[in-house]
Amino acid sequence: MKQFEPDSRPEVLFEDKWFFIVRKEREELTVPGRGPEKQNCLMSRAAQWLGEVYNVHRLDQPTSGLVVIARSAEAQRAMGRIFESRAIEKIYRARVRGNFGEEEGLINLPLRADWENRPRQMVDREMGKKAVTRWKVLFRGAGWTELDLFPETGRTHQLRVHLASIGHPIIGDRLYDEDTGESVMGELMLHAFSLVFRHPFTGEPVMVESKSDFDR
């Protein structure tokens, strides 16, 4: 696993006067959690090195990849509207257990919180909220497959639960992969690989990619 220092400068892949797009590392919180031991996070690193910043969205703690950070409250609101309206294309890269027979497909399984086993989520066809994920095979290995994932909704743990539910858990997922111990940290092979959207202030297209540390 790639290691990082809590006080190191975040890797910046896009910058203008309104936004940064930076890389979050595996097991790094996007925003501070509860308690003094959870104050180090991507946003605190960004504030230390990049100045005043505002959170727009989050990634799960074990997930690495691209995060948009606003440089003003106005930019935060504008970018928040883009995320809320789904006017942004997000591509995740994952390595999962097993091999897929088809080249691409769609998972449409409603999700809700598993209240007795928080923070886990679960499929519930009656009470769950709509959750849709498209997938495309990139490469087949010995007992594993690398995928591009295109979430059409943004439910908590959506990609992780969807893949586990069809028998292909993401490798290293300590919540949903039975072959990964709950104490294992930093091994989830899920990466926010690409963001594509139209800039809310200039109208220009923005496309940013960040290679994962488990790519072939």
Task: Tell me if 2 is assigned to some domain.
Answer: no
In a domain, 84, yes or no: yes
pLDDT single digits (tens) 87-132: 999 999 999 999 998 999 999 999 999 999 999 999 999 999 999 9
DSSP for 63-82 reads -EEEEEEESSHHHHHHHHHH
Q: Domain of residue 49: give its range.
A: 12-209
Q: Hey, what's the torsion of the CAs at 47, 30, 148, 95, to 10 degrees?
A: 120
Distance CA 159, CA 176 (A): 11
1 in a structural domain: no
Q: What is the phi-psi region of residue 29: left when phi exceeds 0, alpha when psi lies from -120 to 50, beta otherwise? A: beta
Residue 56 lies in a domain: yes
- Asked if residues 42 and 56 have their Cβ atoms less than 8 Å apart, the reply is no
Total domains, the chain: 1
pLDDT, tens digit (0-9, with 9 covering 90-100), for 70-95: 999 999 999 999 999 999 999 999 99
Contact between 98 and 145 under an 8 Å Cβ cutoff? The reply is yes
Query: In this model, does residue 1 exceed pLDDT 70?
Result: no
Establish if 6 belongs to a structural domain: no
Which residues are catalytically annotated? 60
Burial of 69 (C-beta count, 10 Å sphere; 0-12/13-18/19+): buried
For residue 29, give the CATH number of its domain. Answer: 3.30.2350.10
